[in-house]
Every structure is written in structure tokens, then in C-alpha cells.
Amino acid sequence: MKRFTAYVFLLALLLTGCGGPADPDTAQESIQVLAMDTAMLITTYGERSPAAAYACEDVIRGLEAKLSRTLADSEVSRLNAAGGEPMEIGWDAYSLLERAAAYSSSTGGAFDITVAPVVSAWGFTEDSFRVPSQAELDRLLPLVDSSQVSVTPSLDSNGDGPKAMVTLGPGQAIDLGGLAKGYAADNILEVLQEYDVPRANISLGGNVLAYGDRPDGTPWRVGIQDPARVGEQNAFAGVLALTDSFAVTSGGYQRYFEQDGKTYHHIIDPATGYPADSGLTSVTVVAGLGEGDGSGFPGTMCDAYSTALFIMGEERALAFWRDETMWGEEGCPFDLVLVTEDGRVVVTEGLADRFTLDEGSGYSLETVSRNGQ
Amino acid sequence: MKPFPKLRPTAWDGLVVLCVAALAIVLALFQWRTGPSQGLTAVVSVDGTEVDRFSPEALREGPRTYTGGGYTLEVALSIDYEHPASSALPPSGQTGLCVAASDCPTQDCVHTGTITRSGQSIVCLPARIIVRLEGGEPDVEGVDAVLG
């Protein structure tokens, strides 16, 4: 009877223990953060997942405090208010200014952080939307010129790390919003590695860092919002299967306003001062974590390129993708998913076996290769 | 010292043990069949602080309003994004909710439409309000993140 009783208790213990502590590899922490003018979701796994998730939040908050254009005390705000006088900035802002200059050069000016005064004229900075007059745009467009931004690295760091002296041209202002979330993703990658996080799913607005794989061993499933069905959360142009990748999407549907029956979105073409009208409705740029030339900023690159290639349009974007000599020193291998106004989804060959078209979207799927087919 | 009398298990003891074991088996089977959680829960936070937690079905009694940053949002049960103020369930039978009205300048929260699955959220940046669905059945065919 004693043996029988022991067996029964053991059985009960095993059965009731099913809801016990989770496998350390699948334990997760998920936190939502409102920062950088967007909603972010940080999901980390592993034994140190809570500490890692909050360390990621700290990184985001720290970068926002330095790089935001709407926080009065940030380095960027103080630089914009400096009236063309030299101002000292820290390593993060310096690093981004250097990359912004490189991306502006490689994209032929399609990416330009000095477009800030024009973006403000449209009211996208302060959410007070309006259509500026052509005369106003003509007055502002000469300020859109990255070559007028002077950056001089300084070795006099006062023990606080490297710094730089920056001078903007008269009347100029910069907005690092087209880079900052990607840069945050790059920095978060270092946090995940530092905390031995086995897998994580980091969503920073339109930026996703798919780190490792899902707990079931399959790739993370990352949906690309269908630009034609923005009111439906489950409406995708397609789904990407990603592991160890950065992915960033830019689209005109993300932020817009309507006036006199016409829709104006927030991605301003630096060449015209108007919302880009390139025939694309969204551009997704995907790059691996380990790719690149050692500069270590593929997330930043994806962020900048998604904006620039949206402005450039399908033909120029694909030409840019094919010709790596155009990428410059800061570029690294990447792939694209382009959604066009005429109902096509164009996928570059590196994503062909990782992209599944949403049959309900009504789009046709095209895969393009580097040799132009 | 007087020794304790020797205790011998009786048939009643065995019956109690069997009842406990049977109860454990029933609970374990229930856990396996239903998963770790049942049903969706809507969690509302304002400026990072959770202010409400409820079953979306509770919105059948009427929409709920939340205020943050000087703006007010009305969260309602919805049938689809084109008719967000409807009090019916979505056609699929899933419980969905939406921001039916907001006085925020961007209206992004209203444009978000209906959320129906765990992990989805509606965000109003001007009001710093997040409405997020949690719990429910795991959706292996769903997406882990959304670009856009």
C-alpha cells in the first residue's frame, strides 16, 4: 500500500507540475515602449530576458534623448537652434551624421537629413498638417543640402567618449528620424548579445530585428502591411520568414493627411519638396545581422535605404540594388520587397524563398535577379 | 515516552489518494486541452501605466473611454474597420475591438481599425494610449511582427 501511495503521489506531482517554470530558452519578457514618435514592442527570450528587455528600453530612451528633433534638450534640437554656430555633439549623433552623409551620397540625394525644414512646412513634425505654397517650398528647398553640414571629429573628449563639432548651413535643420530607429536596432543587437539572449523579436515601428529563430525552431514570421488595406491589421502584402535579420518598411500610408480630397503622405522628396510620387506604395529593405563591411550598422542602412528607395521608385531602386558599387563604404548586401501602385509585389532574388505572397491581397508576384531578369 | 501507535493505511486512505490522483489527472487534461490561458484580454495603458484590463466581450455593455495627453479615445467592440462603432462580433466569430472615435490630431488610432488577435495593439501617440490584446489561443500561423 505504501508503494502504491508513493506512485500515486509521484503521478500527481508530475501531472500538476506541467504548469511549472518555463524552459529558460522559451521564457520571455515582452514590453511595449512609446518612443521616437512610434510604438515599439520588445520581446526577448532566455533566462535573462527581463533584464535584456529593459536594457533595450534604456538604449532606446537614451538615443531618443540625444537624437529627437522634438525634445528641446536633445543634441539635435540644440544643433538646429544653434543658428549656424558650431556645436559639440556626442558619439551617437556624430556616427549618424557620418552615415547620413554617406547614404545621401550613395542615393544621389534621395536620402537627406536636411529636408527637415520642408517636412516641418508640411506640418509632419508637429502634427499640424498643411499644404505649403510653392513659394514657401521654393524658399526652403535651397536649405536641403547635406554638403553644407560640416562635421569635424574632436579628440578632446573630456573622458566622456568621442565627440565632434558640427556646423549647419544658415537656416538649415536636420532630422535623424529616417535613421534613428535603425540605429537603435543596431545598438539593441549588442544588448541581446551581451545578455546571451537566444532569440528576440524587436519591433520598432516599421523596423524589425528578427534575432535567432522562434521557440519552435522556425523562422520569425514578419508580415508586410498591405498599403491598400491599412485599416485591416491582418491584411498583408505577404509574409517574410526571417532569422537573424533587420527589416525596415517605408510607405506613404503610414502617416498622411487629406486636404481638398487629396492625400499627402510624410515621405518628402528632397528634390521637389512634395510627398514622393514614385509609383511605389511601400519599400521593405532586409539585411542580415552579420553582413556588411565591418562598419556594423546594417539596421541603420536598412532604415535609410527604405526611405530613399521609396523616393527613387522601382526602376532606380532595383538598379541601386543590383549595383553594389553604388552603395559606398557604408553599404552592405540587402534585399527588397517593393509594392507598386499598379498591383505588383516585386521581390529580389535573395528573398524569393523567404517571401510568401498573401493570396488575399490580389497582388501579382515578380521575382527579379541581379542580371536584370 | 509513550510510543505513537503504529498507523496502518486503511481503505479510506486509499480512496482519498485515488480521489486526489483523479483530480490531478482531470486538471492536467484540462490544462493540456485549453492551453495556458483562455480568451482574449484587452489591456489599456496610458503613458506606460496600465489603467484597465477587461474581456473584449465586456464592450457589449457599451464603449469605454480613456484620456491621455489631453485627448480622449472611445474603445468599442467592432465588426470591421468600415463600421467600427458596431456592437456586433466580427463575421469570423472573433472578438474584435477598435478605437471608434478620438479627438487626437493624427487619427492614427482610428485608422488602425479592428484588432482581433493576441499581440495586436492600437496605439495613439498623441494621447500616449496603447490598447493591446493578450492571451487567447496561440496562433502559429499568425505573424510575429508587422512591418509598416
Residues 6+ positions from A125 with CB-CB distance below 8 Å: A69, A70, A116, A119, A175
Distance (Å) of CA A302 to CA A113, A142, A231, B30, B67: 15, 27, 25, 46, 36
CA distance A175 to A96: 11
Q: Could B144 and A216 be called an inter-chain contact, meaning their C-beta atoms sit closer than 8 Å? A: no
Q: Please, are residues A250 and A307 in contact by the beta-carbon 8 Å criterion? A: yes
A residues 280-299 closer than 8 Å to B (CB): 282, 284
User: To which H or E segment does residue A258 belong?
Assistant: strand A256-259
CB A334 within 8 A of CB A284: no
- Give the burial class of A194: count Cβ atoms within 10 A of its Cβ; 0-12 exposed, 13-18 middle, 19 or more buried: exposed
Check whether A76 has a pLDDT greater than 80: yes
Distances (CA, A) of A14 to A293, A354, B25, B27: 52, 41, 10, 12
Nearest-CB residue to B105 (from A127, A206, A236): A127
* pLDDT (tens digit per residue) in A207-251: 999 999 999 899 999 999 999 988 777 789 999 999 999 999 999
Q: What is the pLDDT of residue A23?
A: 59
pLDDT digits (tens, 9 = 90+) for A242-272: 999 999 999 988 788 889 999 999 999 999 9
Q: Determine the pLDDT at residue B5.
A: 63
**How many angstroms separate the CA atoms of B143 and A98, rounded?**
35
Contact residues for B128 (Cβ-Cβ < 8 A; gap 6+): A34, B46, B47, B48, B68, B69
- Whether residue B147 and residue A1 make contact (CB cut-off 8 A), yes or no, is no
Cβ neighbours of residue A41 closer than 8 Å, sequence gap 6 or more = A30, A31, A32, A33, A201, A202, A203, B121, B145
For chain B, say whether A206 makes contact (Cβ under 8 Å).
Answer: yes
Asked if A212 is an interface residue toward chain B (Cβ–Cβ < 8 A), one would say no
Q: How confident is the model at residue B36 (pLDDT cuts 50, 70, 90)?
A: very low
**In this complex, is the C-beta atom of A128 within 8 Å of any C-beta atom belonging to chain B?**
yes
Residue A201 clears pLDDT 50, i.e. is over it:
yes
- Using CA coordinates, name the residue in chain A closest to B97: A233
Chain segment A124-160, per-residue pLDDT in tens: 988 889 999 999 999 999 999 999 999 998 766 555 6
Which 3-state string (H, E, C) describes A66-112?
A: HHCCCCCCCHHHHHHCCCCCCEEECHHHHHHHHHHHHHHHHCCCCCC
Is B116 an 8 Å CB contact of chain A?
Answer: yes
CA distance A254 to B125: 13
B chain contacts of residue A240, beta-carbon cutoff 8 Å? 147
| Minimum Cα–Cα distance from A220: chain B residue | B144
Residue A71 predicted with pLDDT over 60:
yes
A325 vs B89, residue with greater confidence: A325
User: Which of A2, A213, A234, A259 to probe the B interface (max B CBs under 10 A)?
Assistant: A234
Burial label, B128 (beta-carbon count in 10 A; 0-12, 13-18, 19+):
middle
pTM of the model: 0.83
- Taking CB atoms within 8 Å and a gap of at least 24, the contacts of A43-49 are A43/A200, A43/A201, A43/A202, A44/A192, A44/A195, A44/A197, A44/A200, A45/A197, A45/A198, A45/A199, A45/A200, A45/A212, A45/A215, A46/A195, A46/A196, A46/A197, A46/A198, A46/A199, A47/A196, A48/A195, A48/A196, A48/A197, A49/A197
Supply the ipTM of this predicted assembly.
0.87
Please check whether residue B9 touches A, CB under 8 A.
yes
3-state secondary structure at position A273: coil
Bridge partner list, A45 = A28
pLDDT value, residue B39: 80
CB pairs under 8 A between A and B: 124
Question: Which amino acid would we find at residue B129?
Answer: I
One-character DSSP codes across B17-58: HHHHHHHHHHHHHHHHHH-S--SEEEEEEETTEEEEEE-GGG
Average pLDDT (A171-178) is 95
Q: Cβ A247–B147 below 8 Å, yes or no?
A: yes
pLDDT at A103: 93
How distant, in Å, are the alpha carbons of A216, A300, A336 from that of A356? 19, 25, 14
Q: Do residue B32 and residue A18 have CB atoms under 8 angstroms apart? A: yes
- Residue with grid cell 503521489, as numbered in its chain: A9
Is the Cβ pair B18, A8 closer than 8 Å? yes
Pinpoint the alpha helices (H) of chain B: 11-34, 108-111
Q: Compare CB distances from B130 to A4, A39, A210 and report the shortest one's residue.
A: A39
Distance of CA B43 to the CA centre of its chain: 7
Task: Confirm or reject contact between B83 and chain A (CB < 8 A).
Answer: no
CA distances to A311, A319, B30 from A315, rounded to whole Å, are: 11, 6, 57
A27 touches chain B (CB under 8 A): no
Asked whether the beta carbons of residue B36 and residue A282 sit closer than 8 angstroms, the reply is no
Minimum-distance CB partner of B21 among A12, A232, A236: A12
